[in-house]
Structure formats: structure tokens, C-alpha cells
Amino acid sequence: MAPSSRRQREREIVEATRALFDERGLQDAPVEEIARAVGINKALIYRHFASKEELFVLTATSYLEELSAALRAVDRSDEPRARLVACSDAFVRYCLDHPAFLDCSISLLRRPSEELVEIVSEGVLLRLTLSMAECLAVIEEILRDGHERGDFSVDDPAFTANLLWARALGALHLARFGVGVSRGEGGLPRFFAVSADRLRERLMIDTLAVVGARR
């Protein structure tokens, strides 16, 4: 197969995988159905991807590329606080609109880096980390600008950007679940609704607190 044809087939497989992710979630996308959607034999998928995990990593990369574009659409001429709020809102909205992206991200974060290196090729891992770095670079730039202007108190913009990313992903799963739990009368569990709007507002407050945003 010519290189251009091979790349086109890989794109078709990733697009089919993502369509199943969006429809059913990460756990319900068997390779057999992905192959059927593309119109190929299951065995051919493994000629393009070393493993199911590698295919899923590349599918996560496609989400990250979209998210990066959404973050970079924020007006860079705004002051750092306004840019951080806008990026946080864009991130939250993208995650809520693409719940399968949350599944992919949490699935990746669940694995130690050493394990991920063992199950995907260097090329695929490079594409994933480059896509993540593109997203995080937007946040890191805002944090650095804000610190230099005295609007934020951030000693390590790169670390703080990663921290904000991971915190938001975890919290947004609560919005997807839609229910919180507390201890009620008699020690029995009490359930209460958790709305996306409430969580979005809380995440914004927490983000500004983490970076030491000036009131």
C-alpha cells in the first residue's frame, strides 16, 4: 500500500473509532465494529496499529488537536485573567460536549508513563505528547504572562498548567455522573444533583485560586 493510501486508511480507522467513542463511550468500541465501519477485516487494523491501545491513543490525539484549536482561538490581546477564564471555559465546554474525550484522558492518566511506553510505539507516543503539549502551552503562556504582570503568583507555569489540566479532568467526571454523595441521617448515603453549570462555576473559582489571581 502506498504511503498516502496507508495514511488515508489510518485516518478512516481513527475517525470510525472516534465515531463509536462519541456514540457509546470508550468501553464500548470493539475492534470488530471499528473494522466493520471502515469496511475492512479486523486483521487489517493490526497492520496499521500495533495494538488496540495504540489506536485508542491516536483517537485521543484527534480530540486533543480539536481542543488545542479551541484554546488557541482565545484572544491573546486580552489580559491574562480574562484569557485564563476564557480558556478554562473552552476546556470545560469541550469536555462536556465530548464525554468520550474524558474517558480517553482518564484512561491515559491511569497508566504510569513507563507502562504507556511499552504498549504504544514511539511515533504514536510522540504524536500524543505533542498534541498535549500544544494544549498545555496555551495555558502555560497565560500563566507566565500573568505572573510577569503581577496578576498571578505562579512559580512554575509548566507544572501549574499540568495540575490545572488534571484537576479539571477529574472534576468534570463528577458533572458527567451528575450525582454527589454525602452521609445522611442514620449514616445512610444521601444523594444530590451536581449540575454542569455549578461545576463550571466552581472550577473557574478553583482555577483562579490555584494561580493566586489578584482580586
pLDDT of 99: 84
Which range has highest mean pLDDT (82-86, 169-173, 201-205)? Answer: 82-86
Give pLDDT tens digits for 55-97. 888 888 989 999 999 999 999 999 999 999 999 999 999 998 8
What's the chain's Rg over C-alpha atoms? 20
Averaged pLDDT, 108-126: 79
Confidence class for position 147, pLDDT limits 50, 70, 90: very high
Global confidence as pTM: 0.83
Measure the CA–CA gap between 129 and 106, rounded to whole angstroms.
15
| 113, pLDDT greater than 80 | no
Q: What is the pLDDT of residue 39?
A: 79
Q: Which residues lie below 8 Å from residue 128, measured CB to CB, with a gap of 6+?
A: 57, 58, 60, 61, 64, 108, 120
